[in-house]
Amino acid sequence: MKNRKKLQKAIAQILTAQQSSPEATESIIKSIERTDLLEHTIAKTPSGATIFVLDTGAVINAEASAMLQALHSRSTGGVKHHLKILAEKGAGDFIKSFYVGYGHKSIGDCGTATIFIEGVSMLAAKAIQDWPLYSGQESSTRYIDFKNQPFLNPLQTKKGSDILEKWRTFYITSMDDVRAHLTQQFPCNDEKNEKMYTKAINARAFDILRGFLPAGATTNLAWHTNLRQAADKLMLLRHHPLTEVQDIANAIDRALRKQYPNSFDHERFDHTENYNAQIMEKSYYFHNAKHPDFAITKNRIDKKLLPYDILHNRPMKTELPRYCREFGDVMFDFTLDFGSFRDIQRHRAITQRMPLLTTEIGFESWYLNELPPHIAQKAQKLLMAQEKAISTLPVTPEMRQYYIAMGYKTANRIVGDLGGLTYLVELRSTRFVHPTLRKRAIQMAQYLLKTYKKCGLVLHLDTEPHEFDVRRGAHDIEIKR
């Protein structure tokens, strides 16, 4: 491998340098430690997305780690004995034989990979994150200015480009007016926190104007996953209704095969591929143009089984035990703008459908109400013109999503047990959460308290009104210089 040759050369340099001076030796050692010696694996998609599988420089990589843990489960020899086997035989044939060949899928749980996915649409990001065991992060519309981000135009037509650029123009030209409007509403009263105040104002402005960003706006995300989950998720993504997502899945697969050549050579069975294709084509997206604004569709929790003391004695920032799942679940149906769906989708303990983004349910009024009056008038005219233009695009409903702004409402359905729902409503009911999502979290919390308070349920909710809070400026992640 290239890295090994670099290392051998560096060692030879060190041996030579030791004969001259300690400073020369130290300089070469530091050069070995640089991250540019790592061999990351990169793949591209036709639409320009970049797939980047991280090489951590680990001496024991994901496949070797998986092999060691598998051997440990079948022998009392101890890990030192298994390390000796690894050194003598390597992990390749073992992984290929037992994880891929014999289908011992749990072996794939023992090795992890970190994948960076750059330049993909909001729709693609949600598709990748639509997985109960997803771990990772995505670029935030609250702390990143999206004015220079590319917008994907899958039609590759001028008409499609014109729609996208009209959204961008409104986003850019409205930003200064929205910031000025916010500073008038919420003046800075603490000069010591002026930097934090400015960041909080920017975050609020981004919160408002994100509603006018199209779902085709590109974003970056990271996916940290074990080898088994990567393979299982890719089995579905390669049949996704959007060509962009199919291309991303294939690029990730190529990169993982190169980085971990023994772990992604699974045989593909036609009957499984056909079934997955049918699922993704016919039932992946959920949509109901007449979806209820907010409704409790089903309640399958058995009150008789609920443990009063366990529910009543739970302190703040503490989760209910997992066995609460056996008591049943509740189904909520409600409308929610796509921008806020991106936030609620992060909750893995509940089951959610992937909503289809359309203009049929209407645009979330909160985004309009937060604008200065003269900007709100422009926004109303823009929405009418854009809806008309989007409706004439010669595309499927799935592809039309790229051209629709994230402030439009979608049909949402979630199902959760008391544990998952309690965590959701407590986290998403705080004043730091986007107001359109906070509203839904509070509605769910009110129903849960009304129904289960006598059973002992206690919810630790943020009861402060949703006013501007300068502490939002501290929620960003910065590099200290």
Q: What is the Cα gyration radius of the chain? A: 26
Residue of 384 and 70 predicted with greater confidence: 384
pLDDT digits (tens, 9 = 90+) for 213-240: 999 999 999 999 998 899 999 999 999 9
Residue 145 resides in a domain? no
Residue at a domain's end among 234, 268, 283: 283
Say what percent of the chain tops pLDDT 90: 63
% helix / strand / coil in the chain, to the nearest 5? Answer: 55, 15, 30
pLDDT digits (tens, 9 = 90+) for 401-418: 999 999 999 999 999 999
Residues 8, 122 share a domain: no
Residue 114 resides in a domain? yes
Confidence at 306, pLDDT banded by 50, 70, 90: very high
Mean pLDDT of all residues belonging to the chain: 87
Lowest model confidence (mean pLDDT) among 20-29, 40-49, 74-83:
20-29
Confidence at 481, pLDDT banded by 50, 70, 90: very low
Residues 102, 243 share a domain: yes
CB 167 within 8 A of CB 215: no
Residues 231, 342 share a domain: no
pLDDT at 105: 74
Residues 133, 6 share a domain: no
Between CA 120 and CA 248 the distance in angstroms is 8
Between CA 183 and CA 185 the distance in angstroms is 5
Mean pLDDT (whole number) for 175-198: 86
Residues 76, 9 share a domain: no
CB proximity list for 371: less than 8 A, separation 6 or greater? 174, 178, 181, 208, 379
pLDDT at 468: 60
Confidence at 1, pLDDT banded by 50, 70, 90: very low
Mean pLDDT (whole number) for 14-39: 58
Residue 436 resides in a domain? yes
Confidence at 478, pLDDT banded by 50, 70, 90: very low
Residue 148 resides in a domain? no
Residues 131, 64 share a domain: yes
pLDDT at 457 over 80: yes
| Token code pair at residue 88 | 């003598």
Confidence at 37, pLDDT banded by 50, 70, 90: low
Residues 298, 258 share a domain: no
pLDDT at 40: 87
Residues 128, 56 share a domain: yes
pLDDT at 480: 45
Residue 324 resides in a domain? yes
Between CA 301 and CA 417 the distance in angstroms is 8
Number of domains in the chain: 3
Residue at a domain's end among 261, 283, 305: 283
Domain range for 13:
2-36
CB atoms within 10 A of CB 66: 28
Residues 124, 59 share a domain: yes
The CATH number given to whatever domain includes residue 92 is 3.30.1360.170
Residue 344 resides in a domain? yes
pLDDT digits (tens, 9 = 90+) for 422-438: 999 999 999 889 999 99
Confidence at 124, pLDDT banded by 50, 70, 90: very high
pLDDT at 15 over 60: no
Residue 345 resides in a domain? yes
Residue at a domain's end among 283, 301, 336: 283
pLDDT digits (tens, 9 = 90+) for 366-389: 999 999 999 999 999 999 999 999
Residue 333 resides in a domain? yes
Name residue 220's beta-bridge partners. Answer: 118
Residues 366, 278 share a domain: no
pLDDT at 477: 41
Residue of 344 and 76 predicted with greater confidence: 344
pLDDT at 420 over 80: yes
pLDDT at 95 over 70: no
Residue 284, φ and ψ in degrees, nearest 5: -70, -50
Residues 251, 399 share a domain: no
Residue type (1 letter), 107: I
Residues 110, 17 share a domain: no
